[in-house]
Homo-oligomer: A and B are copies of this chain.
């Protein structure tokens, strides 16, 4: 869970994330990483055993982030809709700061060919799902969230619509202001979920 990385390792993971974001998974090669950093290809292997290890490092970073976010939201004293607002807003911040993150976190099938990576991605998705479902359940118990639809379906609506918005932003080459449209959409999610 803790960050036991050397500076160079962190640099490599950051560059890897960026490369995936820019050129897709096929653009992530040891050559591209080393070129970007300015060292030779074999030098990468002084810091990671294999390419898979690098990808795993990237995913673990995203998982840590998801866990941290979940913990913050948990201890955030507010009603359900405010918590959801907070959660999605923080994600908007992350995506705006580091657009390449979207390609990795919302493009699970990239890792279809490696079972280890696929299950790591699954962990992250499950983590996000659980966080949102917990908030919704709480809201339902406290009478802020509608109860005529079960928490799983409501979570699907919240997460799914948010994801699609972000994905459209990515597909359109960031042609609109994600922050702005995102904030608006969060309000709509809250409207739909509210009692």
Contact = CB atoms under 8 A, between A and B. Distances in A.
Contacts of A159: 161, 164
A112 B160 contact: no
Interface of A: 23-27, 103, 107-113, 118, 121-122, 125, 148-149, 153, 156-157, 159-165, 167-168, 170-172, 185, 188, 191-192
Contacts of A153: 161, 185, 188
Most buried by B among A26, A111, A157, A192: A157
Contacts of A23: 112-113
Question: Assembly of this chain: how many copies?
Answer: 2
Contact of A171 (B108, B162, B170, B188): B108
A110 B153 CA distance: 27
Contact of A24 (B113, B160, B161, B168): B113
Contacts of A185: 153, 156
A103 B125 CA distance: 17
Contacts of A108: 167, 171
Contact of A160 (B125, B149, B161, B170): B161
Contacts of A107: 107, 109
Contact of A164 (B112, B163, B172, B188): B163
Contacts of A161: 153, 156-157, 159-161
Contacts of A122: 171-172
A27 B168 contact: no
Nearest to A173: B118
Nearest to A167: B108
Contacts of A125: 168, 171
Nearest to A172: B122
